[in-house]
Each structure stands twice: as structure tokens, then as C-alpha cells.
């Protein structure tokens, strides 16, 4: 059985694309070591169809994914978060709720695939690019020796991931 190392909340403004992709990716790749969640400051109310299509194309789970407000995770009784990761620049600049337990926070900016206009193939390619970028960042995150790193070291590593493309 895999040791559970914590909960990760991926934030984006609309919670319809990037944060949804990240939630599914983390839950898939961590194999139970982490539980990924996603939310938005102004959720769209539905997951972007190309986010679902992209996840399915790569064989990742889509069951239970939904667009929701970050307020769900700031309420009493919500899961305690260990890490809060913003994946869009707008959410990174917004005033966030006070998160119980003082989770580590970092910004991993990813261009918004839902903002891409053009042909359906160009839009699918934007979602694939966001997916691959997030997958790379999450797989690197999962290589950390979480039990051995001091909080400040881990915080630096989380921020460093955000600087990579």
C-alpha cells in the first residue's frame, strides 16, 4: 500500500481545463501517494469538453471531475490541503481564501488551452500541450523525497517547477 503524502489543490479561475487536467494527472501518476483536487475562483460550472477528450485520449480517468469553487475547500470539514498550486496567471494574482493548515503554495503558470481559437485541430493541440506540460511538472514533483526535505527546501522546489516550461 502506498503511503499517503498529502492533498494538492490545483487552482485556476474557471476550473474547466488546466486545473482539471492537473487533478486527473496527479491522481493517476501518484498512485495514491497524493490526492489531487481542483477548483476555481470563478468556476465555469462545467468541464471543458476538450479537457475530457484529452484525458480520455491519454487513458486518464475523468469520472467525478467537475468545475467547482475554491470556497468548497475553505469550509470546515473540507480536506486539509498540503499544497496549493495555481496553474493560471489570473488565479495567481487573486486574493485567495485563508487555507487551514498553512499549505505550501506555488505558481505553475500554463497557457490557457481554452482560450485558443482556430481550427478544432489547433484547439486539440493546445489542450495536448497543456496536458504534456502539466504531466511533466507533476512527474517531476513526484520525484521529490518529501519525508527528507525541510519545508523551505520543498517550497523552493515547488517554485522552481513553476519556472520550467
Catalytic center residues? 12, 88, 96
Take residue 157 and report the three cell numbers written for it: 522546489
C-alpha closest to that of 111 among 95, 101, 125, 94:
125
Which secondary structure element, helix H or strand E, spans residue 85, and what is its range? strand 83-86
User: Dihedral sign, CA of 125, 126, 131, 132?
Assistant: positive
Name which of 6, 94, 20, 102 is nearest 54 in CA terms: 20
Amino acid at each position: 500500500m502506498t503511503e499517503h503524502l498529502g492533498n494538492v489543490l490545483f487552482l485556476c479561475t474557471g476550473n474547466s481545463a488546466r486545473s482539471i487536467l492537473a487533478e486527473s494527472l496527479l491522481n493517476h501518476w501518484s498512485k495514491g501517494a497524493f490526492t489531487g483536487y481542483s477548483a476555481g475562483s470563478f468556476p465555469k460550472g462545467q468541464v471543458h469538453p476538450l479537457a475530457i477528450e484529452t484525458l480520455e485520449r491519454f487513458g486518464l480517468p475523468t469520472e467525478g471531475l467537475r468545475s467547482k469553487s475554491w470556497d468548497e475547500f475553505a469550509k470546515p470539514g473540507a480536506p486539509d490541503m498540503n499544497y496549493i498550486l495555481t496553474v493560471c496567471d489570473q488565479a495567481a494574482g487573486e486574493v485567495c481564501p485563508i487555507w487551514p493548515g498553512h499549505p505550501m503554495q506555488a505558481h505553475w503558470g500554463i497557457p490557457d488551452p481554452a482560450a485558443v481559437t482556430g481550427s478544432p485541430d489547433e484547439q486539440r493541440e493546445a489542450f495536448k500541450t497543456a496536458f504534456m506540460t502539466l504531466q511533466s511538472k507533476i512527474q517531476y514533483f513526484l520525484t521529490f523525497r518529501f519525508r527528507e526535505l525541510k519545508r523551505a527546501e520543498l517550497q523552493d522546489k515547488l517554485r522552481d517547477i513553476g519556472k520550467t516550461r
